Amino acid sequence: MEFSARQIADFLQGEVEGNPEEKVSKIAKIEEATKGSLTFLSNPAYTPHIYKTGASIALVSKEFKPEQPLNCTLVRVKDPYDALASLLELYKSSIPEKNGISELAFISPTASIEGAAYIGEFAYIGDNVSIGKNVKIYPHCYLGDHVTIGDNSTLFSGVRIYENGSIGRECTIHSNAVIGADGFGFAPQSDQNYRKVAQIGNVIIEDLVEIGAGTTIDRATMGSTIIKRGVKLDNLIQIGHNVVIGENTVMAAQCGVAGSSKVGKNCMIGGQVGLSGHITIGDNVKMAAQTGVPSNVKDGEIIMGSPAMEASKYRKAFIYFRNFEKLAKRIDELEKEIKKLKYL
């Protein structure tokens, strides 16, 4: 499907600078784009690429001022990255949607499906499962007994949701995510063995949540592990039992949150961050990648390092970390000089 610069500008409420009839049929990164491609410039670090890109049309901000001649037509918008997201949504909506229920899926007679749904081959739908309108369940998914799936949610191939799990409206769960496996609960015994503690709670995923591929969210020991509205979890994240993740918090890949910790709303958590158990993270907290968090964090703090400290203090301390060998040598030399002075 082709779109002209004029059509794109009209859709995005932008302005064309160049040939309004220039056409594109694909989207590409600015450094890799070729003729017939649409690209975008959002990060200033990529500005040099716009002067040599092969793209036919580029989305740029209204403030962008070229310093060299350009070979592409520009569409000026308020926010190029947001505009690209809108175009990608438009493109995705043009792809035919999956529909219908495969004869090769197993659906319990006690399960209920409200309205149209897609259920692929070899999906398993347990007893008393409730599936809302326009839900898509791809092949090889497993829904245990008493699971609830809200309207317009999508479960990609291989998703497992254990019994009593609750998934809200307009959620997306990517392949091989596991929702509701047992929490890591073991009681030490006198013979240096461990007794498994039964995990009888569940997992509640509220509306508009996205969960990445391979992510695992453990059921609560008692009560619920809760992922609140608007949370976005990347791939390969581990959420422990009885954890609560606050509204609109985003978490990058390979993070781990130990049991019973509470994370506030609107937090931004970088990759490979580790949170200890039974701690509380405030609202609007930001954590740099690989931060190790052993204790509570107040609202609005920006932290990094392991163990974590306030980011500006960490950066100052890091100057000394990387020069530690030189500083130790200087201290040794000063101690020798002090000893000499004692004998004068």
Q: Is 241 a catalytic residue?
A: yes
**Residue 223 φ/ψ region, left for φ over 0, alpha for ψ in the -120 to 50 degree band, beta for the rest:** left
Which listed residue (140, 146, 174, 241) is catalytic? 241
Amino acid (one-letter) located at 174: H
Phi, then psi, of 41 in degrees rounded to 5: -125, 110
Place of tokens 């000089």: 337
Chain centre distance of CA 20: 37
Supply 148's token pair.
Answer: 């609830």
Q: Distance between CA 233 and CA 130 in Å, rounded?
A: 24
Residue 7 corresponds to which tokens in the numbers above?
A: 């059509």
Tokens in use for 138?
A: 């791809």
Cα distance between residue 82 and residue 62, in whole Å: 13
> Per the omega criterion (within 30 degrees of 0), is the bond before 96 cis?
no
Residue 333 buriedness (CB in 10 A; 0-12 / 13-18 / 19+): exposed
Active site residues: 241
